[in-house]
Amino acid sequence: MTSHIKQLTSLSQYKVQLTDLLFLCIKSGASLGFKTDVDKPQLATYWEEINTQLKSRIFFGYFIHNTLVGCVHYTRCQKQNGSHRAEIEKLLVHPQYQRQGIASLLMQSIEREATKQGIELLVLDTQTGDKSEYFYQKIHYTKSGEIPHFVSDNNGVFFGTSYYFKILLPTSQINKTASDEASLIT
């Protein structure tokens, strides 16, 4: 199985694959900002909007052969006093490929790129009680709190949202840590 992660600077050629991926993830129960009765044209419109905003986003896709089976992106804070932080959005893995380490690889890629871009804080939210909470804790994100009654499903049932963060080492600190580790080895 040939796989690779690629940073995407345009989503145009992947819109159908992204739409299908998001649709499948929603239908499998993931809380991704849409209710389960969403249709594919609505999701295609979402990706068209994201595509117009890629100048302020970093977007990675995970491909097996030439098929996009996972993605994640972040949006850098546009406030002057928040330029050191970004929000992770839409970590998606095709249901058929979940629990194979793809989400972890995507998050490692986005964290490395964030560090290169001078971002030192990543934040995200997920539905309280969702399996994704365990995943984010496993990759060292810290839960900072939750808001009850935050989202609702097709039946009007409300769910809470949990907020997570991760402080990244600045590039200068990573370089210092690497050089300190190297001096211990010699």
Confidence of residue 186 (pLDDT cuts 50, 70, 90): very low
Angle ∠(178,181,184) on CA atoms, nearest 5:
150
pTM, to two decimals: 0.87
Confidence of residue 169 (pLDDT cuts 50, 70, 90): confident
Structure tokens of 89?
Answer: 């959005």
74-95 tens-digit pLDDT = 999 999 999 999 999 999 999 9
Residue located via tokens 């239908």: 27
- Between CA 141 and CA 126 the distance in angstroms is 12
CATH architecture of 3-185: 3-Layer(aba) Sandwich (3.40)
Domain coordinates of the chain in residue numbers?
Answer: 3-185
Q: Is the model's pLDDT at 130 over the cut of 70?
A: yes
User: Is 37 in a helix, a strand, or coil?
Assistant: coil
- Between CA 154 and CA 38 the distance in angstroms is 10
In DSSP terms, 97 is beta-bridged to none
Q: At a CB cut-off of 8 Å and minimum separation 6, what does 129 contact?
A: 159, 160
Confidence of residue 173 (pLDDT cuts 50, 70, 90): low
> Which CA distances in Å does 26 have to 39, 43, 103, 116?
10, 10, 16, 32
Q: What end-to-end distance do the CA atoms of the chain give, in Å?
A: 38
